[in-house]
Amino acid sequence: MNASTPTPADRVEKSLLFACIVLVTFAGHCGKHKRSDPSVRLDVVRQRSVTEDPAVRGELPFDWLVSSAQNAGSPPDQNEVAEFAEMFKNTTAPKVVEEQLLPGATRIVELQLAGPSGLAGSAEWIGTAATLKVTLSVNGSPLAIGTAFSTGTNRGGSILHAQTPVGGRATIAVTNTSKTKVKVRILLLATAL
């Protein structure tokens, strides 16, 4: 038999193997005590596989979930509320519209701007994963075209950002370019610069 000199890796491997044996033995020994202790309660819970999750399979309801303020948990810290109010003091409250759009129909949401503003818009839809036409404009001049994304087999959305050097009428327009009726939720937000 040809014996070779152990390398540092061999020594580490043997040390780790020894540590594993000790830990497994100790864990088994501890488990025996827990089973014999009547004060220890063991609950076995089967966790659902990720492939069983309807959201992962793209099987989502034809609606959005909006939690009520009562279910939000503990009341917010007053310092956080003040910080949030300061951060968004120049922001016009978001205009949110939710409705059904037939094929070929367009829905426009608008905000009046007092002056130069940063604009943010989003459109989400349920009923198709196809891309819908979404445009952000000021005073009739297009500023941005939506960047679309898909969130399942029958859902999608689009996000837009733009900055305008003038005030006036800001609009976000969503056109249903699919062949099916869709439910859309459109948001338009403006922050004065």
**DSSP SS3 for 120:** strand
The arithmetic mean of pLDDT across residues 125-152, rounded, is: 91
The arithmetic mean of pLDDT across residues 103-111, rounded, is: 94
**175/103 Cα distance (integer angstroms):** 8
- Of these ranges, 71-80, 99-108, 110-119, 147-156, the one predicted with the greatest mean pLDDT is 99-108
Assessment of whether the complete model's pTM goes beyond 0.85: no
| pLDDT surpassing 80 at residue 142 | yes
* In contact, 150 and 113? CB cutoff 8 Å: no
**28/139 Cα distance (integer angstroms):** 74
The pair of structure tokens assigned to 180 is: 């099916």
Q: Tell me the sheet residues that pair with 138.
A: 141, 170
| pLDDT surpassing 80 at residue 71 | no
| pLDDT surpassing 50 at residue 68 | no
DSSP codes of every residue in 61-98: -SS-----GGGG-SPPPHHHHHHHHHHTTTEEEEEEEE
**152/61 Cα distance (integer angstroms):** 11
- The pLDDT tens digits of the residues spanning 46-61 come to 777 877 777 677 666 6
- The pLDDT tens digits of the residues spanning 155-165 come to 999 999 999 99
Q: Can you give the pLDDT at residue 151?
A: 82
